[in-house]
Structure 1
Amino acid sequence: MLEALAAFVCLAALVAYLGSERHDTPREENAVLPVAPTGRPVLPPPGGSQPSAVTPGLNPRQRPPSPSPSPSRPAVPPTLTVSQSDVPARVDLSAVGTVDWVQWGHLGARTPVRKRHGSGDIRDEGGRGERQSYDNNPEEYAWRDGTPTAAVSGTLSGVYTCDRGSGFTLAVAANGQLRTVHLYAGLWMARGRLDLRISGGGPASTLRMEDPHTARTADFTIRFRAAPGAKLLLSWTVEESLGDCGNVSLQAVALR
């Protein structure tokens, strides 16, 4: 009797439990997969995260093409021309040397006068022989923007050096543009030789001037072009002395 009662109680408890159990309604998946430009759906990567948006017209990781490099300009070959003419009775260095100028002799053999705030492109490279100053040049030189002498209305000064092989060596820096150099030089009872060349294997030229009896001067006008870093090299020397202390002289150089 007791066993039958226990079985009935267990059966009643089981029925009550089954009647109270609820099942959740299955959840519908409404997520829509993105579609690639090919028409196929894009599957999510491992881990379940959604793929990033695709930029229209570009595949993933595709970059716009880089622009083509501009063609480099060919290097301009160096040029060099020289002409010779008489020196005017008065040379205004401030007007002729708008970029730079140098005058020798006014302050003695060792101290030239330069253009104040000039480019510094004219360089005195020395030369062979002892320099002497003088003040009886056939032409006069004037300036109004010099240093250490600010202004001079007219000086007949210059420097000279005697005997064969002696002379002056100068240089003018190039900047890639056409430049004009005026070399004011002379001689006395000598044959002078002017050698010009562009550094680095550029063109070269040679001129000669001679007077066996007295003094002579000239304006050597040089036009040249070379790449920045190159130089116009000038050498004015006594090729042959034709008298006692036959010499070459140097008055000024102007650059424009």
Structure 2
Amino acid sequence: MADEDRVRADSRAGGEQSDMPASHRWRAVNAGQTRSTLRRIARARQRRRWAVEGLAVLACLAALGTYLATRSGPEPGDDLAGRSGVPAGATRPSGFPAAEGRTGDVGPATPGLRPRQRPPSPDPTPSASAPAAPPPSTAPTLSVSRAEAPGEIDLTAVGSRDWMHWGLHGGTSSVRKRGGSGEIVDGGGKGARVGWDGNQELVSWRDGTPERSESDSSNGVYTCGAGNGFSLAIAGSGEPRTVQVYAGTWMARGRLDAWLSTGGPVSKVRLEDPYTSQSAQFTIRFQLPKGARLLLSWTVEKAFTPHCGNVGLQAVAVR
């Protein structure tokens, strides 16, 4: 039955083709082949276009991936991840410049800062501050030394705070610095004071009272006999002070004792000449609080002649 249907179909097709002119049959056959070829060519061209477009897309994707990888990587000079706690590939926040002299990022960006402006430094912690310098010492101090007396003594120059001179008009006369501090106190002493104008040292001043000025005075005072001498005191002011004592001996041993009213040991300095006179400049440096005093005693420790072995005193200056 199926074979018979196929025979009838073929015969109809053959009959229809046999009725068509030969030129028409050739055009029909050729047209069918041309359309088929064109479809194949079009499909091939479309496949090639898709391939080219696909390659272009892949190239774009590859370029985009390279660009993104470059942007997300660490910038030149940045430390590796882990030094500052910033993960690898993270970028520095916008507007946060790196601190000069440091490596890596130093913290998050601070809002409101202009470009290249650094955030303010934190206040130092109390533990990092340097310890305060201790206040200057006000503990009492004392030192005594002896040197040869100068040939000329300018009391105005060496006694910037105070000075005092004895013997200008006899054993009981004295001259003080006009407008001085009054730190020198004459405490008297044992033995009678006698004026003397034959000292080798010449004393001058320009700011005295009651004698305003004097030039090249050789005057002074002295007292004879062992145990006799002069007592002086210098008031403390809380500041370091220097005292100059201009004194001498004649055929005797003199001893200068210096001590502080606040207590402590006594400093002793001696000057001796058994045959003639001897002069010296004693320098005393001390520091005492107000109300305390430096105490001085210049006495005959030993006389080498019964004819008035003595100690003499010309002047005292404080600066």
TM-score where L is the length of structure 2: 0.57
Which of 297, 301, 308 is the matching residue for 1:235? 297
Q: Deviations over 1:124-171 (max 9, x none)?
A: 000000000000001100000001111111100000000010000000
1:97 aligns with 2:154: no
Aligned partner of 1:173 in structure 2 is 235
Partner-residue secondary structure (3-state), 2:156: helix
Q: Which amino acid aligns with 2:144?
A: V
Could you say if the C-alpha distance between residues 239 and 175 of structure 1 is closer, same or farther in structure 2, counting changes exceeding 3 Å?
Answer: same
Q: 1:202 to 1:156 in 2, by over 3 A?
A: same
Aligned to 2:205: 143
Question: Is 2:194 the counterpart of 1:111?
Answer: no
Deviation, 1:97, is 0.2
Cα distance in structure 1, aligned partners of 2:244 and 2:296? 12
| Preserved contact between residue 78 and residue 203 of structure 1 (Cα < 8 Å) | no
Runs of 4+, deviation exceeding 3 Å: 72-75
Q: Give 1:252's aligned amino acid.
A: A
Query: Which structure carries more relative contact order (alpha carbon 8 Å, separation 6+)?
Result: 1
Deviation at 1:87, TM superposition (A): 1.1
| Alignment partners' CA distance in 2, 1:110 and 1:149 | 14
* Map of 1:134 onto structure 2: 196
Structure 1 residues 195-229: Cα deviation after superposition (integer angstroms, max 9, x where no partner): 00010213420011100000111000110001111
In the alignment, which residue of structure 2 is the partner of 1:162? Answer: 224
Does residue 211 in structure 1 map to residue 267 in structure 2? no
Indicate the residue corresponding to 2:146 in structure 1.
Answer: 84
Matched residue SS, 1:196: strand
Q: Choose from 262, 269, 292 the match for 1:200.
A: 262
Are 2:317 and 1:254 aligned?
Answer: yes
How far is the alpha carbon of 1:75 from its aligned partner? 6.6
Which structure shows the higher helix fraction? 2
- Quote the Cα distance in structure 2 between the aligned partners of 1:81 and 1:204: 10
Aligned residue type for 2:189: G
The structure with the greater share of residues assigned to strand is 1
Change (3 A) 1:229 1:209: same
Equivalent position SS for 2:285: strand
SS in 2 for 1:108: coil
Which has the larger displacement, 212-221 or 193-202? 193-202
Structure 1, unmatched stretches of 5+, are 1-71
CA distance in 2, matches of 1:141, 1:215: 18
Could you tell me how far apart the structure 2 residues matched to 1:100 and 1:73 are?
28
SS in 1 for 2:172: strand
Q: What secondary structure sits across from 2:262 in the alignment? A: coil
Task: Give the distance between the partners of 1:74 and 1:144, measured in 2 at CA.
Answer: 35
Q: Give RMSD over aligned pairs.
A: 1.4
Matches of 1:110 and 1:195, distance apart in 2:
23
Cα distance in 2 for residues equivalent to 1:103 and 1:76: 30
Task: State the shift of 1:76 in Å.
Answer: 2.3
TM-score, normalization: structure 1?
A: 0.70
Work out which of the two has the higher radius of gyration on C-alpha atoms and give 1 or 2.
Answer: 2
Q: Deviations over 1:45-70 (max 9, x none)?
A: xxxxxxxxxxxxxxxxxxxxxxxxxx
C-alpha distance in structure 2 between counterparts of 1:218 and 1:99, whole Å:
22
* Post-superposition offset of 1:73: 6.4
Decide whether aligned partners of structure 1 residues 252 and 74 sit closer, same or farther in structure 2, where only a CA change above 3 A counts: closer
Give the aligned length. Answer: 185
Distance in 2 (CA, whole Å) between partners of 1:163 and 1:80 is 29
